[in-house]
Amino acid sequence: MNIHRVMILDAVHPLLPERLQESGLCEVLDGSDADPEEILKALGRTDLAVHGLVIRSKMKLNAAALSRAVNLRWIARAGSGCDGIDTDFASKNNIALIHASEGNRLAVAEHVVAMILAWLNRLNQGNQEIREGIWNREGNRGRQLAGSVVGLIGYGHNGSQTARLLAAMGCKVLVYDKYQHGYASTAQPLVVESTMEEIYNEAQILTLHAPLTDLTRNLVQGDYLRRFRHLKLLVNAARGPMVNLPDLVQALEQNILEGACLDTLPIENPQNWDHLWMDRLLAHPRVMVSPHVAGWTVESYKAISEVLADKIIAHLQQPTKPTNEANSRS
């Protein structure tokens, strides 16, 4: 039996290395505290022969980095999608790609619904005003989510779970997915496979669930937002660069859009923010931001590792069956 030497580059739930080691298929190395340059040197050692990598977001595996990994056969990402990996290089060099978007789909869906409910009911505003000694019932009158029309972009694991929760709460969910068709079901009559034109015409809330690609980068910009007839709220718990930040700020300031709920930003390190736009975004009273935690609950942290362990072991048990989830839905 071939033993795969696996290096784990980020903090993951202890269940993952335990299961890989117990499978008898892997020797697990902990590289979570190692310097990136030390990791690259290790990947280039023919005597060490690292066959697999488990990553989250610590290290970018571009073509230059991957070209040094002389024995690498697969990469597994503990999260949704293959962000940070040069998927073209991996495909050309027969490096299998695996991710675990199934593990956090319920966490993401709950977070999206929670943000929408908090925004509709002005919970942030009311909480802050009370702390300042202001008791303003009329100014914090909310709106019900039930009966709202929600446009949803991307019907992968996270999008489909979010659609189910929204439909269960009485929303009409108009779904657009460029790569999938025929997913509407009589079991969920409120989830409707739709065209973008239908979403432009009807959606009051728009929530993003597509992966970040060349097509979706800067998807949400000024012209895009102006095409909506009734849009009040934008929700992004997918990838920050899908939204053009200056255009979003201007749309909010010009009342093209009432508000935004963002779990991701184009740049997430405050030290690197463009404060010309970030300060204006955060000053807007109808903007809510969370620090990219929609899929990062206590439960999903464990579930991601469970899903990833299952997929890695299945891949190693069928090494001749190609595995490439670079373009699978998040």
Does this model's pTM top 0.85? My answer is yes
Structure tokens at 282: 């955060």
Rounded CA gap, 183 and 193, in Å? Answer: 7
263, 234 contact by CB (below 8 A) = no
Closest listed residue to residue 262, CA positions, set 226, 279, 238: 238
pLDDT digits (tens, 9 = 90+) for 79-133: 888 888 999 999 999 999 999 999 999 999 999 999 999 999 999 999 999 999 9
Please, what is the angle between helix 298-317 and helix 105-120, to 10°? 150
- Phi, psi (degrees; rounded to nearest 5) at 92: -65, -25
pLDDT digits (tens, 9 = 90+) for 141-188: 999 999 999 999 999 999 999 999 999 999 999 999 999 888 877 667
pLDDT digits (tens, 9 = 90+) for 306-325: 999 999 999 999 865 556 66
Domains detected in the chain: 4-103+299-317 (3.40.50.720), 105-289 (3.40.50.720)
* 259-262: strand order across its sheet: 191-193, 172-176, 149-153, 205-208, 233-236, 259-262, 287-289
